Structure 1
Amino acid sequence: MESIYNLVPEPYVEPQKPPMYRSKYDPNAPLTSSTFGLHGTTATVGGGVNEIRKNHTLSSTFGPTSQSTTSAANFLKAGSKTRLPPQQASSFMRSGGSSKPLVPRREDKPVMGLRTSKNFITANAVEAILSVPQMPQNDGVDYISKEDYGKVPEYLSQVKEEIRRENDMIDEYVRKQLAQDEDAPEEFTEMEEQLRIDLINKLKTKWDDVNEKYQKICHRTSFESFGDIAFKEGKERELKKLENDIMLLQRAGSVMVSEDR
């Protein structure tokens, strides 16, 4: 809620600063937990370096100690932990113990200046002319002399016979069905007038529904896809069929309907 008293400026009150923080510990005292200046041989000024060096035991591994038993000259040499002595191990490696090729020595020089007087084009042509062509290998089987050469396999005759029997059975069944349909007289009944009127009304309703969908696409002169063309042609065929059915039911005279057997 707005008030006119809010427009009156309030007097500025300067905040009071808290007293400066002073630690209760001596700032010049060495830090007992500091590791600064521990690594190396030069002691840095400040920190608890001197105190830590007093607790620097022989078990530490960072840098040598005064009582270290390892000498700088006693380093691990190649082949010192192998079963063979170093001399035999080096000779074994030079004699082909490694799968890698030997590195060429400094005094080794590549062979240079080698030339040949052979004409490879002429040599290849002469070799191709004088070479004997390879004859096809004969496995010893003469298919012409076989007993069934040139004859129809027996299994093909069996398959043809099975197909002939199946076709005869199908023809006999169809012939019997057609004979029964020809012998039975076809019966017709007159369609009721009310049923004919109901069918005409339903066909007209269906025609209106199809025509409404057809009118949405019949005015188009270009179609983007084959689906649109098929849809238009399908609606035209459906409208034509409905019109023929309506004309058939509306013609003068009675409508005869065949009874389903």
Structure 2
Amino acid sequence: MESIYNLVPEPYVEPYKPPMYRSKYDPKAPLTSSTFGLRGTSATVGGGVNEIRKNHTLSSTFGPTSQSITSASNFLKAGSKTRQAPKEASAFARASGKTKPLVPRREDKPVMGLRTSKNFITANAVEAILSVPQMPQSEGVDYVNKEDYGKVPEYLSQVKEEIRRENEMIDEYVRKQLSQDEDAPEEFTEMDEQDRVDLVNKLKTKWDDVNEKYQKICHRTNFESFGDIHFKEGKEAELKKLENDIMMLQRAGSVMVSEDR
């Protein structure tokens, strides 16, 4: 909303400026925990190079600063803390009297110019001729002189007896089954002519059904799977069986059927 009072200029008020921050620490004190000024001759803010080096040198150790600083040339060398093993022989070697000779030192010189007049070829031949042959420590078992040599083991006789008894039991069981079958003679009855004609017609109907399925694959020469081959062979076998049954029922004469069926 506009107003005429907005045209009147407002008096300028200077913003409040806080006083400059002054640290309570000395700005000229040497820097702590800093590595500036340790190398070279350039000085850093807060103190001279000598003051910085002196400050860092005194506080660069883990121990108290009152101790003297170790010289750079006096560093820990390899093997200075290790203890040398005693060169004396062990207690076991001293007790048994079997001690190995010491290793020759670096300044020891080997004996030179020693030669032997021994003929090793002749010496070895003489030693081999005069040596006594060593006999075997353990003698082998003489199986020929054993008590049971050439005799049949007892366990084989037991096995043969068990096999004989099992065969007798099987023969006895088969004999009883055959005698029961012979005692009960099988009876046959003549099939009625009308039943034979009906059975032949049903077989022919089934043959037509199987032949219809067979005709769909009989012309194929390349089969994609073994299932198709088995299907074709199965239909051929089924047709052959139906044809044999039809020919048997159409023969002249009566057809005899067992009563058990």
Task: Name the TM-score, length of structure 1 as normaliser.
Answer: 0.50
Task: Name the TM-score, length of structure 2 as normaliser.
Answer: 0.50
